[in-house]
Amino acid sequence: MTQSADKPVDMKDIVALCKRRGFIFQASDIYGGYNGFWDFGPLGTELKNNLRDSWWKNMVVTPPIGPDGTPVSIVGLDSAIIQNPRVWQASGHVGGFNDPMVDCRESKARYRADHLLVYTNDGDIWPAFYNVEDAADIPRRLKKLKQNEDISTYKIVSFDQISADDYAKIIGPDTKTAGTLTEPRQFSMMLDTFPGVIRDEERKAYLRPETAQGIFTNYKNIIDSMRVKPPFGIAQIGKAFRNEVTPRNFIFRSREFEQMEMEWFCPPEDHAMWFEFWVDQRKKWWESVGMDANKIFLHDIEKSELAHYSARTIDIEYKYPFSDPNFDELEGIAHRGDYDLSKHQEHSGQKLEYFDQQENRRYLPHVIEPAAGLTRGVLALICEAYTIDENRPSGVYLNFHPSMAPKKAAILPLTAKEDHVPIATKLYLDLREEFSVDLDIKQNIGKRYARQDEIGTPYCFTIDNDTISDQTVTVRERNTMAQERIHMDKIAEFLREKMKAV
């Protein structure tokens, strides 16, 4: 078998498969879509729920054992998307949650200044590009401009680092003339709304741009109502909204997405120990859901690049097909100090200090925050699973870990002959009590395998004439296409074993 697992993957093929097989659709597709918004189809929803449930189990239901050998304690929360606007003033989001935006006067395209990359040199033609894939086109663009220079002599600098005096040299990604890009302007990423009947500035509220603040505002309620004390965590999964300047790369950067965030409250002096612990735990979790450790990179964010509230941040980055050979963010783990609690204490006038009776001291806990994207996680799982294999009819299969696969197994009667179908139906009815399984009767067996390969079903059980005499079925393993016989009574146990995280 010549399996070309290393062949570069084209994002367009991934997007097409996601639509063709019911994973992800453009939002409002019949109206031509809506920039920055996506709908999860039946299989995408299953996949997303599997990833979400694994995170929740790992964080809240069966959290790990801490570095000192005691089980850690994390409680769950589901806070409102729209909160009192004062929350966002206290957190610094109103007025401060901005992206620098650059416009092209000619093409009317819009870019995020820090994501717009410019090839600079001593000359006076500097081509800019936005996506890594477009960078490949730069030598051709330069040639057209009769600039036959060697691209390797250029230095890549992001637009926000370039002096305004040099803007005239820059040719934007979507134009052929230099000097059409505007100076960056700050652009608020907060999406607003007006609850109630009166729509004026004073009544403006916001769709939350992160789930974290709902946790900080409930910190006191949880301390008062639950028997928790630092160190402990509060976890939340839910929607967040950001008015991204340029939503792009499929669901990687969208305007509506889901986050999985946990705020870990600990005594200030223990922050370094817990930071290390959570970075390690989070990396292990991504690996447990099937991410290749070789495509994961821990990016220790340089001091100069840290958010103002963070003393240290490590981003867990993944090598997406569109970032390859580079990596891009999947999750950020930040030491936020006592920034959020002290801001909310100041703005709400409520005491948020924790009183430790044993030690007879009062303090604001420090916070370690593992903040992961659920939507982005789904994209990473799909990219990781997407495997080109020219030797099989589908040409591709999704190599999901069985615990993540939307369908755990397919039951396929070899023929639509009468005696195969009732046995298959009985097996299907038994298994569906515990697992998400498919019963597929129509079409030839090759086509049915192809469909299951494309949706990443790890096992197909085929009922044939031998099943009638000895109650065994053929189990076909998705990745290797290897087949073996297994007794029908053993199938449920077989699947249970395979579902266990790696």
Nearest residue to ligand ATP, by Cβ distance, number only: 373
Report the C-alpha dihedral over residues 47, 50, 55, 60, rounded to 10 degrees. 150
Q: Are strands 191-193 and 459-463 parallel, antiparallel or unpaired?
A: unpaired
Task: Give the list of residues 6+ apart from residue 477 with CB closer than 8 angstroms, or none.
Answer: 458, 459, 483
As given in the structure block, the two tokens for residue 156 are 């890549």
Angle in degrees, CA 117, 130, 100, rounded to 5: 70
Minimum CB distance to ligand ATP, residue 242 (Å): 5
**CB-facing half-sphere around the CA of 96: CA atoms within 13 A:** 9
Cβ 125 vs Cβ 142: under 8 Å: yes
Determine the 3-state secondary structure of 290 from DSSP.
coil
Give the footprint of ligand ATP on residues 242-261 (CB under 6 A): 242, 244, 253-254, 257, 259
Find the shortest distance in angstroms from Cβ 249 to ligand ATP. Answer: 9
How far apart are CB 331 and ligand ATP at their closest, in Å?
5
* Closer residue to ligand ATP (CB): 101 or 455: 101
The interface with ligand ATP within residues 112-131 (CB under 6 A) comprises none
d(Cα 131, Cα 501) in Å, to the nearest integer? 35
For 141, 398, 455, 462, 498, the CA distances from 491, given in Å and listed in that order, are 58, 22, 21, 12, 11
| Nearest alpha carbon to residue 376 among 317, 314, 435 | 317
Structure tokens at 475: 């189990």
Looking at the Cβ atoms of 116 and 371, the one nearer to ligand ATP is 371
Instruction: Give me the least distance between CB of 377 and ligand ATP, in Å please.
Output: 7
Q: Which is nearer to ligand ATP, 373 or 406 (CB)?
A: 373
CB of 313 to ligand ATP, least distance (A): 8
Min dist. Cβ of residue 412 to ligand ATP (A): 37
Q: How many CA atoms lie within 13 A of 131 on its CB side?
A: 15
Q: 371 near 210, Cβ under 8 Å?
A: yes
- Here the tokens at position 324 are 């390859």
Q: Tell me, what amino acid is at 122?
A: D
Beta carbon nearer to ligand ATP, 175 or 211: 211
Residues from 345 through 384 that contact ligand ATP (CB under 6 A): 371-373, 375-376
Closest distance to ligand ATP from the beta carbon of 244 (Å): 5
Draw the binding track, 309-338, toward ligand ATP (x: CB under 6 A; -: no contact).
--------------------xxxx------
Nearer to ligand ATP, 115 or 448 (CB): 115
Q: Which amino acid is residue 401, in one-letter code?
A: H
Of 291 and 372, CB closest to ligand ATP: 372
Cβ nearer to ligand ATP, comparing 114 with 149: 114
Buried b or exposed e, range 368-402, using 16+ CB within 10 angstroms: bbbbbbbbbbbbbbbbbbbbbbeebebebbbbbbb
- 180 is a contact residue toward ligand ATP (CB under 6 A): no
Nearer to ligand ATP, 249 or 452 (CB): 249
Work out how close the CB of 112 gets to ligand ATP at its nearest, in angstroms, rounded to a whole number.
9
Q: Is the dihedral of CA 384, 388, 391, 393 positive or negative?
A: positive
Reading the block at residue 318, the tokens are: 């993944």
Backbone phi and psi for residue 475, each to the nearest 5 degrees, phi listed first: -105, 125
In the complex, least distance from residue 328 CB atom to ligand ATP, rounded to whole angstroms? 7
Q: Binders of ligand ATP: how many residues, by CB under 6 A?
A: 16
Q: Nearer Cβ to ligand ATP, position 299 or 432?
A: 299
Nearer to ligand ATP, 43 or 371 (CB): 371
Provide the 10 A C-beta neighbour count for residue 340: 24
Nearest approach, Cβ of residue 361 and ligand ATP (Å): 31
Q: Using the rule CB under 6 A, which residue among 46, 210, 263, 454 binds ligand ATP? A: 210
**Alpha-carbon distance 458 to 450, whole Å?**
12
Grouping H, G, I as helix, E, B as strand and the rest as coil, residue 105 is coil
Q: How far is the CB of 323 from ligand ATP (least distance, A)?
A: 11
Nearer to ligand ATP, 230 or 247 (CB): 247
376 vs 370: CA distance, rounded Å: 14
What binding mask, one character per residue, do residues 258-297 give for ligand ATP by CB under 6 A, x or -? -x--------------------------------------
C-alpha–C-alpha distance, residues 344 and 88, integer Å: 10
The candidate with the shortest Cα–Cα distance to 402, out of 291, 501, 499, 477, is: 499
For ligand ATP, the closer CB: 243 or 288 = 243
**3-state SS assignment for residue 502:** coil
List interacting residues with ligand ATP (CB under 6 A).
Answer: 210, 242, 244, 253-254, 257, 259, 329-332, 371-373, 375-376
